[in-house]
Amino acid sequence: MSKAHDTLFRTLADPTRRAIFERLCREGEKTVGALTARAGVSQPVVSKHLGILKQAGLVRDRPDGRQTHYSAQLGALAPLIDWTSQMAGYWETKFDHLEDLLKRMDQ
């Protein structure tokens, strides 16, 4: 699996981050403030998630005066529609569970 795939899967594996991204997909461009209002987490947390989404190429920011508007970059998702990537994503999720289990086995 390419590093780009790895980044995409890791970025979207977080439920809060995914929710922010899905909302941008559904509702279009939003400011941090607007996203925070319904994210269930604080503004700094939303900003942090947006930073990670931006690094992965999944969102773009557009400064407008004192506000910054964020929008989803759907083209970045194209590799994920490929089934081999789906399977890789499946195993990434399974490996997350495996690591959780290994932690519990320690105790």
Partner 1 sequence: MTDAATETRSVVVEREIAYPPEKLWRALTQPHLMEEWLMKNDFKPDVGHRFNLRGDWGGVLDCEVLAVEQNRTLSYTWDFKHDDAAYDLKSVVTFTLTPTSKGTHLRMEQSGFRPTQKQALGGAHAGWKQFFDKLDQVVASEG
Closest contact distance (angstroms) between CB of 98 and partner 1 is 4
Closest contact distance (angstroms) between CB of 77 and partner 1 is 5
Beta strands in the chain (DSSP E): 30-31, 59-64, 67-72
Rounded Cα gap, residues 7 and 9, in angstroms: 6
Quick one: 63 or 83, whose CB is closer to partner 1?
83
Closest contact distance (angstroms) between CB of 47 and partner 1 is 23
Closest contact distance (angstroms) between CB of 58 and partner 1 is 11
Quick one: 15 or 65, whose CB is closer to partner 1?
15
Quick one: 5 or 47, whose CB is closer to partner 1?
5
Quick one: 10 or 47, whose CB is closer to partner 1?
10
Q: How many CA atoms lie within 13 A of 102 on its CB side?
A: 6
Taking CA atoms, 23 is separated from 13, 47, 59, in Å, by 15, 15, 12
Residue 97 Ramachandran class (φ > 0 left, ψ -120 to 50 alpha, else beta) = alpha
Binding site for partner 1 (CB under 8 A): 1, 12, 18, 22, 25, 74-75, 77-78, 80-81, 83-84, 86-95, 97-102, 105-106
Residue 59 in 3-state DSSP? strand
